[in-house]
Amino acid sequence: MNLGRNLMYMNEEISLANGAGGEAYRQMVQEIFIPGYGSPELNQLGDSAVLAGPGGSGELAFTTDSFVVWPLFFPGGDVGSLAVSGTVNDLAVAGAIPRYISVAMIIEAGFPTETLKRITASIAATAERAGVRVVTGDTKVVEHGRADGIYITTSGVGTFDGNWPRPPQQPCAGDALLVSGPLASHGVAVMAAREKLEFEPPLQSDARPLAGLIRSLLDSGLSVHAMRDPTRGGLGATLCEWAEDSGLNLTIKETDLPVKAEVRAACDLLGLDPLFCANEGVVALALPADQAEAAVACLRAHPDGRAARIIGQVSAGLPGQPGHVSVDTGYGTLRRVTLPEGEILPRIC
C-alpha cells in the first residue's frame, strides 16, 4: 500500500469510477477510508476481516457488502440471490465456513410488495443452499424517487475449521494461477439485460454461493496461498492487486482464459474486456505449481468447478521494481495489464 501517491483519481465529487473496482476505487479505499478509520484490521485489504474471537475462542471472519445491481432481476439471478452469494463467497475465500448473515434493505416508497416477497424468497433459498442463516436485519423506506427501487446490504460471519490451514492471501513465486470457471458471465449478463440485448444462446449470470466448492478444495489438504472471488473489476483487478501487494510478477496465457463463446461475442459487441468484467461464481487462486493439476481435478469434481483450469504462473520480480501482470498473447508477445482508470461497468453488483 502506498499512501504517498497523489489523489490523481479523487476529484471534488465522487464519480461512478470510484465504485467500479479499478484504480479509482482502490485509491479511494487506500487514501481516504484506511487512514480515515485508522483500524489496523483494514490493512488486510481482504474480502473479509479476520478477527480474534472473544476470550480466545478462535478466529472469526467478518464481511459486509452492499448491492445496487440494476436491473433487479437478470438471467441467472436477482439482487437477493446476488447479495447472499457475494457475502458467502467473501467469507469462503478467506478460508472460513460461512455461518450467519444479516440483511438490511433501503426500499423506495411505491416498490411493489410482490417484488419484495420475490426477492425475500430468493434470499432465503440462496441462504439455504449456502448453509447460512439470516439472523438479523433492518429496513428503511425512503421517499419515491430517492432509492431506485431497493438497495440491499448484507454482512456475514464465518468461523474457521481448525483442520484447515488459513490461506495467507498472497501468492508466492513459483505458484500456478487457477480459476474455477468461465469468466465475465455475470457482468456481461447484467449489462445485456440492462440494455435489453438478446444473444443466442442466452447469457446467464454465474452468481452462486461457492462455499461448498471452496470447502472441498480446503479439505483436500492442498497448500492454497491465495484465494479471491474476482467480482468488481474482474479477474484483471484481482491479479493487479496481488501483483502490487506482493511485488511479484503474474503472467497469464490469453488462450487459457475460459470465456464462453456467447460471452466473448457480447464483449466484442459491447467493447468490453472479459478480463475486467465482474464474476459472481468464480474463484481465482494461487498455489504451488506442483499441486496445480491436483487442484484442477479437485475443483472439477465439484459441480461448481467443472470448467476449472490453470491460467498462468507467478514469478519473482526484479529488485526494487513493483510487481506487474502480463498477458501472453500467444503470438510471442506480452501485454502489460494495469487497473482501469475509469468506469468499468456500473451497478453490476
Residue 39 lies in a domain: no
Residues 181 and 319 in one domain: yes
Which set of grid coordinates corresponds to residue 22? 479499478
Compare 161 and 24 and report the one with higher pLDDT.
Answer: 161
Mean pLDDT, residues 28-45: 84
Residues 183 and 313 in one domain: yes
Residues 333 and 245 in one domain: yes
Rounded Cα distance between 83 and 127, Å, is: 10
pLDDT for the residue numbered 187: 97
Compare 6 and 79 and report the one with higher pLDDT.
Answer: 79
pLDDT at 77 over 70: yes
Residue 228's nearest CA partner among 172, 162, 180 is 180
Residues 141 and 233 in one domain: no
Q: What is the percent of the chain where pLDDT is above 90?
A: 76
Residue 102 lies in a domain: yes
Contact assessment for residue 34 and residue 43, using Cβ atoms and an 8 Å cutoff:
yes
Tell me the Ramachandran region of residue 120: left when phi exceeds 0, alpha when psi lies from -120 to 50, beta otherwise: alpha
pLDDT for the residue numbered 288: 98
DSSP 154-221: EEEEEE--TTSPPP-SS--TTEEEEESS-SSHHHHHHHHHHTT---SSPP-------HHHHHHHHHTT
Burial class (CB in 10 A: 0-12, 13-18, 19+), 205: buried
Residue 128 lies in a domain: yes
**Predicted confidence band of residue 55 (pLDDT cuts 50, 70, 90):** low
Residues 152 and 187 in one domain: no
Burial class (CB in 10 A: 0-12, 13-18, 19+), 102: middle
Residues 238 and 301 in one domain: yes
Average model confidence (pLDDT) across the chain: 92
Residues 154 and 179 in one domain: no
Residue 32 lies in a domain: no
Sign (positive or negative) of CA dihedral 189, 193, 195, 199: positive
pLDDT for the residue numbered 57: 65
Q: What is the percent of the chain where pLDDT is above 70?
A: 94
Q: What is the CATH number of the domain that holds 95?
A: 3.30.1330.10
| Alpha carbon separation from 57 to 52, 162, 167, 219 (Å, rounded) | 8, 12, 20, 22
Hey, how many other C-beta atoms are within 10 angstroms of the C-beta on 172?
Answer: 16
Which domain covers residue 99, as residue numbers? 46-159
Burial class (CB in 10 A: 0-12, 13-18, 19+), 288: middle
pLDDT for the residue numbered 108: 98
pLDDT at 2 over 70: no
Residues 155 and 179 in one domain: no
Instruction: Dump pLDDT digits (tens) for 123-178.
Output: 999 999 999 999 999 999 999 999 999 999 999 999 998 877 777 789 999 999 99
Residues 192 and 238 in one domain: yes
Angle at 126 between CA 122 and CA 130, to 5 degrees: 170
Pairing of strands 249-253, 325-328: parallel
Question: How large is the angle between the packed helices 261-270 and 185-194, nearest 10 degrees?
Answer: 50
Residue 239 lies in a domain: yes
Residues 205 and 60 in one domain: no
pLDDT at 285 over 60: yes
pLDDT for the residue numbered 71: 98
Residues 120 and 268 in one domain: no
| Alpha carbon separation from 217 to 157, 162, 297 (Å, rounded) | 20, 15, 10
**SS3 state of residue 151:** strand
> Which residue's C-alpha cell is 474480502?
47
Instruction: Dump pLDDT digits (tens) for 261-283.
Output: 999 999 999 999 999 999 999 99
Residues 147 and 215 in one domain: no
pLDDT for the residue numbered 10: 62
Q: What is the CATH number of the domain that holds 200?
A: 3.90.650.10
pLDDT for the residue numbered 1: 36
Which range has the worst mean pLDDT, 45-54, 211-220, 282-291, 316-325?
Answer: 45-54
Residue 137's nearest CA partner among 119, 150, 156, 118 is 156
**Predicted confidence band of residue 9 (pLDDT cuts 50, 70, 90):** low
Count of domains forming the chain: 2
Which range has the worst mean pLDDT, 90-104, 156-170, 180-194?
Answer: 156-170
Rounded Cα distance between 198 and 126, Å, is: 27
pLDDT for the residue numbered 207: 98
pLDDT for the residue numbered 342: 64
